[in-house]
Amino acid sequence: MEVDRPIAIAVILFVILFVAFYLVVPKYQEFEEFQIKLSKKEAEYRGRSAYFSDIASTYEKLKQKEEILKKIDSALPSSPALHSLVYFLQKKSLENGLIFLKANLLKIS
């Protein structure tokens, strides 16, 4: 029994395409999904890196202004009661020629 050469070539090409379609294509799709996940993680990392660098620069700015912050901290009342803080702000604003009209007090949990 003799196999016709063009038919054998067609069958071999069909088998190669079949193998490529059912074995290679799913792995390529997994690879693409992995690349998408990787790009999302890289973007998240860049965002967090920028956030933490901003925090570090803000911390350095606060370290440079430590004397001013100590003065502010010593000027504020030590009791956590809101009425004394509002009274203090009204008193200091009047001493400096300002008018204390409104304060929005929010509870931070």
36 phi and psi angles, rounded to 5 deg: -65, -45
Q: What is the domain count for the chain?
A: 2
Model confidence pLDDT, tens digit, residues 5-61: 888 889 999 999 888 888 888 889 999 999 999 999 999 999 999 999 999 999 999
Residues 67 and 54 both lie in one domain: yes
Distances, alpha carbon 77 to alpha carbons 5, 71, 82, 84, 88, in Å: 98, 12, 10, 7, 7
Handedness of CA 93, 98, 102, 103 (dihedral sign): negative
Residues 59 and 91 both lie in one domain: no
Which residue range forms the structural domain that includes residue 86? 78-109
Please identify which residue in the block is written with the tokens 């509002």.
Answer: 86
Residues 66 and 87 both lie in one domain: no
Residues 65 and 24 both lie in one domain: yes
pLDDT range class, residue 81, cuts 50, 70, 90:
confident
Residues 53 and 106 both lie in one domain: no
Model confidence pLDDT, tens digit, residues 89-98: 888 888 888 8
Residues 102 and 62 both lie in one domain: no
Question: Distance between CA atoms of 39 and 28, rounded to whole angstroms?
Answer: 17
pTM, to two decimals: 0.48
